[in-house]
Amino acid sequence: MILTIPLLLALLLHRTPSILYPSSPPSAPTKAPTEAVILVDPFSELHSQFIKANLLSRNIAVVEVLSPYIANGLNNDTTSDAAAAAEFDYLTLSPDLTDLSSWVSSIESKGLSITSVICESDSGLSYAEELSSLVSRKHNGVNEGRRNKFMMNDICEKSGIDTVKQKLCSTVDEALEAFESDFGAPSTIILKPELGVASENVYKCSTKSEVKSAAEKILNANTWGTYKRKIDRFIVQEYVEGKEYVLDCVSKNGEHKCTAMWVYDKTEFKKYRGTKLVSCDSDETQKMADYIFKALTALSVDWGMTHNEVKITPVGTVKLIEVNCRQHNANIAPVTTMCIGYNTLDAVVSAYVDEDEGLFESMPAYPKLKKGGIIVHLQCNVEGRVKKLKGLEEIENLPSTVEVDYFYDDFGVGCNVKVTESIRTDCGFVIMINDDKEELERDYERICELMKTMIVVGRRRRKRDILKSLLRKK
């Protein structure tokens, strides 16, 4: 996601930190702010801007910066609104980690103490982690294992946590050998890069030809979060059967709490129908939460929010998919607030800011639902120019629907669409909330049914057909 011009203009203060002070909090502060929180890559209104509003209302100053990866992307971007801005080196918005003294001094001279660093983007996590370890009183230190998925599982395994079988490969032949020898072909395995996001370059393979094709595709792709650096190593992992769950967590000084638990409903390996809230009040769900708490401790996650994925096998064994040291990238705050009573974004602010008594302390370790909630992932099943949209009014008027958002800039007739391949190519989402679980499920299944024929595209006309049409008009 690219920063909008208004936010860019607000940040254009070169190497002097852009410090945002509370303007009109609910109750006017009697003293000037004494604390500041750094937000790295603060793009989304659903995430960082939500956190920023909370911080400002608490009379805490906010410092917004860019990670070098995003800054370089803006410097090289020629297609977005960013290119319309005056020529500017966006790296000036990225504090130099090798010489932070003057930058930090300019913040401290305002009477501010930096308490924490919160990063929104996956690509900026390593930078934010190092920045946090240098300037913040509350940080996790630097640990590559929190981003490298092979190291992540290795660290957890060495800590006595049950993890998936895996092998690191650098060639197609190594992957084929692992498939046949280490994983006992015929079997199903997963190939994926060490660094990645949102199932990008992740493949599920059951045959030698699929393994070969997947390995070649991965090795021809760029390493996530780098510029034009080809992937030179990838992971081969066992494929775990079972339901896939997501646990949003917040940690404070080594204490972990689950703020929301979800289960994925998928139509295919990387295609999601829905993400459903789950009440964490059974032995099975609490076992998954405890498993993640152990993984967070093993990975030295003492502070901040994490978005964690696990699978529970048919025999009840929990297996780690991955730990992500950032927010759940969906509009989760209103859903969980209505369904649980609090949300991850407010909880992480509390963890960093409240000393002994606050939301974090009052939250249970395992979230329980007051209402049912589902995020429906709208899939596009056709490709071409939209001729007609069907069923949108019905979707919007279902009893459980509280919000609908379409991702295409010009979602409607004449818009060009592509078939959904993964969660990154959904064409929108629907937020559903209902006290009545049966009605919620009925409405959900109805949307999933309407989704199949929701988008109608015009057929491609052959040159002969176009010529006939022109002749008829004459």
Q: Output the six-digit token pair for 213.
A: 């094709």
Positive or negative, the CA dihedral 428, 432, 437, 439 is negative
Q: How many CB atoms lie within 10 A of CB 24?
A: 7
Q: Is the Cβ–Cβ distance between 183 and 165 less than 8 Å?
A: yes
pLDDT for 423 equals 75
More confident: 33 or 411: 33
pLDDT for 230 equals 87
φ and ψ at 302, to 5 degrees? Answer: -100, -25
Q: How far apart are the first and last CA of the chain?
A: 48
Backbone conformation region of residue 412, classed left if phi is above 0, alpha if psi is from -120 to 50, else beta:
left
Using alpha carbons, select from 408, 422, 247, 431 the residue that is nearest to residue 330: 431
Looking at residue 428, its amino acid is G
Mean pLDDT of 13-20: 60
Q: Is the Cβ–Cβ distance between 43 and 91 less than 8 Å?
A: no
- What pTM was computed for the model? 0.87
Instruction: Name residues whose C-beta falls within 8 Å of residue 222's C-beta, 6 or more positions apart in sequence.
Output: 228, 229, 230, 231
Answer yes or no: is pLDDT of 102 > 90: yes
Instruction: Name residues whose C-beta falls within 8 Å of residue 231's C-beta, 6 or more positions apart in sequence.
Output: 193, 194, 201, 218, 219, 221, 222, 223
Can you tell me the distance from the alpha carbon of 196 to that of 333, in angstroms, rounded to the nearest whole number?
Answer: 25
For the ranges 36-45, 222-231, 463-472, the one whose mean pLDDT is highest = 36-45
Strand partners, 375: 275, 431
Q: What is the pLDDT of residues 359-369, one digit of tens each?
A: 999 999 999 99
C-alpha distances (whole Å) from 24 to each of 19, 45, 57, 59 are 16, 19, 8, 9
Can you tell me the distance from the alpha carbon of 128 to that of 49, in angstroms, rounded to the nearest whole number?
Answer: 17
Triad 270, 273, 279: Cα angle to 5°: 105
Answer yes or no: is pLDDT of 4 > 70: no
Answer yes or no: is pLDDT of 117 > 50: yes
Answer yes or no: is pLDDT of 5 > 90: no
Q: What is the pLDDT of residues 323-370, one digit of tens each?
A: 999 999 888 999 999 999 999 999 999 999 998 889 999 999 999 999
Can you tell me the distance from the alpha carbon of 116 to that of 247, in angstroms, rounded to the nearest whole number?
Answer: 23
Using alpha carbons, select from 163, 464, 205 the residue that is nearest to residue 318: 163
Tokens 């409405």 sit on residue? 443
Confidence of residue 7 (pLDDT cuts 50, 70, 90): very low
Answer yes or no: is pLDDT of 184 > 60: yes
SS3 annotation, the chain: CCCCHHHHHHHCCCCCCCEECCCCCCCCCCCCCCEEEEEECCCCCCCHHHHHHHHHHCCCEEEEECCHHHHHHHHCCCCCHHHHCCCCCHHHHCCCCCCCHHHHHHHHCCCCEEEEEEECCCCCHHHHHHHHHHHCCCCCCCCHHHCCHHHHHHHHHHCCCCCCCEEEECCHHHHHHHHHHHCCCCCCEEEEECCCCCCCCCEEECCHHHHHHHHHHHHCCECCCCCCCECCCEEEEECCCCEEEEEEEEEECCEEEEEEEEEEEEEECCEEEEEEEECCCCHHHHHHHHHHHHHHHHCCCCCEEEEEEEEECCCCCEEEEEEECCCCCCCHHHHHHHHCCCCHHHHHHHHHHCCCCCHHHHCCCCCCCCCEEEEEEECCCCCEEEEEECCHHHHHHCCCEEEEEECCCCCCCCCEECCCCCHHHCCEEEEEEECCHHHHHHHHHHHHHHHCCCEEECCCCCHHHHHHHHHHHC
Side-chain-side CA neighbours of residue 41 (13 Å)? 24
Answer yes or no: is pLDDT of 6 > 70: no
Q: What is the pLDDT of residues 293-313, one digit of tens each?
A: 999 999 999 999 999 999 999
Answer yes or no: is pLDDT of 390 > 50: yes
Q: Is the Cβ–Cβ distance between 234 and 223 less than 8 Å?
A: no
Q: What is the pLDDT of residues 151-172, one digit of tens each?
A: 999 999 999 999 999 999 999 9
Confidence of residue 9 (pLDDT cuts 50, 70, 90): very low
Cis preceding-peptide flag for 95 (omega within 30 of 0)? no
